[in-house]
């Protein structure tokens, strides 16, 4: 059985978080209506970016650091 290295787990986590961001922004765009929401749509996108893309960036950076140290 192949040994999975730790940096690959961080890369996979970053990809999954970025994919979740894309899917949830698409769902928000279908559910968004101007008459029901007082905030503009970019506020929802910004909130999703803070929740999903910030940890994805951190996971990617940690994975990159671990990848360099494993070489």
pLDDT one-digit tens code per residue, 11-39? 999 999 999 999 999 999 999 988 888 88
pLDDT-based confidence at residue 3 (cuts at 50, 70, 90):
low
**pLDDT above 80: residue 1:** no
7-12 long-range contacts (CB < 8 A, ≥24 apart) are: 7/63, 7/64, 7/66, 7/67, 7/70, 8/63, 9/63, 10/59, 10/60, 10/62, 10/63, 10/66, 11/59, 11/60, 11/63
């Amino acid at each position: 059985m192949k040994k999975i290295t730790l940096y690959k787990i961080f890369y996979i986590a970053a990809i999954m978080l970025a994919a979740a961001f894309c899917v949830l922004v698409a769902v928000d765009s279908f559910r968004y209506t101007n008459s029901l929401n007082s905030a503009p749509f970019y506020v929802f996108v910004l909130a999703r970016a803070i929740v999903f893309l910030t940890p994805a960036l951190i996971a990617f950076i940690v994975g990159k650091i671990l990848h360099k140290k494993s070489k």
